[in-house]
Structure 1
Amino acid sequence: MRTDNRTALHWAVAGGNEDAVKLLLDHNANVDIEDKFGMTPALLAAWFGHLQLLQILVNAGAKVTIRNSIGQGIHHCAAHQGHMAIIRYTIEELQEVPLDKPDQTGKTPLLLAAENGQLDVVTYLHALGCDHQFQDKERNSCIHLAAGQGHVHVLENLIQGIFSESKNKAGQTALHLAAEGGHFNCVKLLLDNQCQINVRCSQNLNALHYAVKQGHKDVCHLLVEEGIDMNAVGQNACLHLAVKHNFAQLVRLLIAAGCDINISDHKQQSALHLAVERGQFAIVEMLLKANINLQLQDKQGKTALDLAVRSQHAVLIDMIIKMERFNARNLDTSQVAAEGQGDSVLGLPFNHVPNLSHVRSVLWNLATKHLKPGDWKKLAEHWDFSKKHIKAVETQWTGSNSYKEHGYRMLLIWLHGIITLGKHPIKELYESLVKIGKAEVAELSLFKQRKYVDRRIQRWIHLRSAK
């Protein structure tokens, strides 16, 4: 006997060895001996579908009403594994075997058959009049179990005449469980049979919450197309869950479907707050392009920019400042999406700018070689950067020469905005340097960098400086 307490008879039955079973019984083997899990040879015969061996054991006096350690009898074992011949035999020949008695988890043979996708057994027990509304200890019905495991053919058999809106202990319907499991066909079948799409569980979640949380894109598409409430909020809205789990495609789907992008969770955080905290650059960009409200504050009064500053996400800081300045000009943010194929963090249209890499080189040369500490702030103030924006850029510390990096970042942010206005950056930069009293710097950094500035602008600068 092994540590699992299985005897030779257990192994002979499990292996379907009829001769060995007969030999052991002839030598007075204990026909009802239990292993570690309470499985007798008869229960093993039912589990593995060995009808002839079960008949031999019954004829040898095996108890047919015995149950294992979790309360499962012969019908439970056979239904779990889909052995129709065993079930027919026990019903027709062994009438003392109960058909609808639950195991310790509250599951009847019908519930086990539904949970494990045993369609023939479900159909047979259905026809015998088994209680289809019976619920296990978690209050799951057979329709819950079939939907939750994705057994669409079983669900199709059961859905006629069974209340699909019943809730389990967690307040979930079959639709919740099908959506959570990503079982598209089960979700579609339930919806086609007019189940309630917006019903919520005890945690105030609808089916879309479950599908989003698990990243089931096809199910999410289906639920959205069928008109589910995308803005239902428990602790989180669906958009927040997509952000939390970094499902960029689902964020895009929800935005395109018209969800409320400014909705707040239980911490009063927007989806942008969450994306910034997690450093999710692609999702932040999506939300910015969708024109999310950048002034929304969480419970601590922090905006998304505040969180980016706190986390020292320089790229995110710059992205948010760019969009705040873009919004301040009352420009149409649809331009971002429509023309978003250019060379920009936010995808704004830079393609029409000649020699853009050269322009950037001019800006780098200006920031690192010509602007003194504090000069970049004067330019920023001249260009209507707010004090908050300047402070946010200045948060990044790279040493005693940090002002050079700060200046370059500010210039790139400005470049982003000036191009959206359709103005030539070199021309605008020259005028701005002159206005803040840096005409000499303008000459040194712009006019003399001939390889970076086209001849037309060179002539214009020359005429301006001559005045």
Structure 2
Amino acid sequence: MAETAADEPSDDDKALLGAALNGYLDVVQYFVGQGANVNWGTNTKGAPLHLASQEGHLDVVEYLVSQGAQVNRCIDKGLTPLDCASHSGRLNVVRYLLSKGAQLDTCGNGSNTPLHVASQMGHLDVVEYLVSQGAQLEMCDNDNDTPLQLASQKGHLNVIQYLVNQGAQVERIDNFDQTPLLAASSKGHVDVVEYLVSQGAQVNRGTNTGGTPLLYASREGHLDVVRYLVGQGAKVEKGLGNGVTPLFSASRNGHLDVGQYLVGQGAQVERGNNKGLTPLHVASGYGHLDMVRYLVSQGAQVERCDNDGDTPLIVASRKGHLDVVRYLKREQAQRKTASPEGMICNLIVSKGGYTMSKGDVLYRVRAVMIL
């Protein structure tokens, strides 16, 4: 749609855009009468019909179409006037454009149809009308997201209920292996989470890497969602393939209330990931003092080494979290990591030739010293 040197827009063409955007029908009629091109526009803003449709100026839309404006013209994002009207919730314009031949399932560059954008923005009346006209419920965008998945991300419960009642699949996964339930959990939409579970969404269904709705809700600190999912049978220890659990994620991001709840439901404070990092390590590394204090109070070991031989104190020191360093030092972390077994551990690993991590060596050294 961009102009070329051979087709340079006139001042009237440019003025027509502004008049259409603001809904000045008489001005639009004047410039069209002066020869302004009703189909000229920019790659970013669109043509006059895009702008009038976006803003809901039905009289301007009707006039432009009567003057030859193309109802299925796309701008660089692949958006048609119908997309613009659907995005803004302009039902009267949506009705009119469809009556004039606008394509119902035309996709933009992101493969979003008008139903996708109306669902994402929560315009129930537009969604209902588009479906009544034959819009496809399960059509996917480039991320393999359906209208239901986009509505779930944004928390539009009324749209979600309508789409499910029309047959939308609650367990459909996108290219990121996420279901609508996982998307809603990550965003903290507890009402949507409750509804999707009531419609058969599985609370323990994970992504290919093991991410569950509970893990995502814990990572983002949505305690109400966490409580509900656990109450519905979500497993507090189910996590990613790399060993990251819901408690680990909550600790990393400093969500103390979520961490307390998970521990109360049986989450293990000493369970580490595949690098040997525990919840205390990551809470220390990110400077979450309250979380550090809580984990220690629940039995987290301040002298625990990760696979590189680093304790929470070392991790906190490396990141410059002085308050955490002071606290851990008061908990005798420094004395314990400088203990005889700790020094022997470092000496053994430094000699090389071992496949064991420093944490594994430390465990074995302690066992020998006990004997």
Shift of 1:90: 2.1
Equivalent AA in structure 2 for residue 272 of structure 1: L
SS in 2 for 1:159: helix
Shift of 1:279: 4.9
How big is each residue's C-alpha offset from its partner over 1:352-405, in whole Å with a ceiling of 9 and x where there is no partner? xxxxxxxxxxxxxxxxxxxxxxxxxxxxxxxxx99829x99xxxxxxxxxxxxx
Identity between Structure 1 and Structure 2 (%): 27
> Which residue is 1:168 aligned to?
174
- Paired with 1:35 and 1:126, the residues of 2 have a C-alpha distance of 31
- Paired with 2:171 and 2:210, the residues of 1 have a C-alpha distance of 16
How big is each residue's C-alpha offset from its partner over 1:87-133, in whole Å with a ceiling of 9 and x where there is no partner? 211222x13x2111111110111111101111001111122221100
Contact kept? 2:171, 2:179, Cα under 8 Å: yes
Structure possessing the higher relative contact order (Cα contacts under 8 Å, 6 or more residues apart): 2
How big is each residue's C-alpha offset from its partner over 1:261-315, in whole Å with a ceiling of 9 and x where there is no partner? 2211121122123334445443233223323456754213455577679989343
Which one is further off, 174-183 or 144-153? 174-183
- Paired with 2:28 and 2:140, the residues of 1 have a C-alpha distance of 38
The one of 189, 196, 204 aligned to 1:183? 189
Contact kept? 1:308, 1:314, Cα under 8 Å: no
SS in 1 for 2:339: helix
> Which residue is 2:155 aligned to?
150
The one of 331, 344, 348 aligned to 1:319? 331
> Which residue is 1:225 aligned to?
231
Contact kept? 1:45, 1:53, Cα under 8 Å: yes
> Which residue is 2:68 aligned to?
61
Shift of 1:49: 1.1
Matches within 5 A, 1:11-90: 11-37=18-44, 39-90=46-97
The one of 250, 253, 275 aligned to 2:258? 250
- Paired with 1:28 and 1:218, the residues of 2 have a C-alpha distance of 60
Contact kept? 1:12, 1:18, Cα under 8 Å: yes
Equivalent AA in structure 1 for residue 158 of structure 2: H
- Paired with 1:65 and 1:278, the residues of 2 have a C-alpha distance of 51
Matches within 5 A, 1:390-409: none
- Paired with 2:309 and 2:68, the residues of 1 have a C-alpha distance of 76
Contact kept? 1:268, 1:298, Cα under 8 Å: yes
Equivalent AA in structure 1 for residue 339 of structure 2: K
Equivalent AA in structure 2 for residue 190 of structure 1: L
User: Are 1:115 and 2:115 an aligned pair?
Assistant: no
Shift of 1:85: 1.0
Long gaps (5+) in structure 2? 1-7, 344-371
- Paired with 2:210 and 2:94, the residues of 1 have a C-alpha distance of 41
> Which residue is 1:411 aligned to?
none
- Paired with 2:277 and 2:298, the residues of 1 have a C-alpha distance of 17
- Paired with 2:316 and 2:36, the residues of 1 have a C-alpha distance of 74
Long gaps (5+) in structure 1? 325-384, 393-467
> Considering only CA atoms, is the larger Rg found in Structure 1 or Structure 2?
1
- Paired with 2:181 and 2:309, the residues of 1 have a C-alpha distance of 38
Q: 1:252 to 1:41 in 2, by over 3 A?
A: same
Contact kept? 2:303, 2:337, Cα under 8 Å: no
Query: Taking structure 2 as the reference length, what is the TM-score of the superposition?
Result: 0.80
CA RMSD of aligned residues (A): 3.0
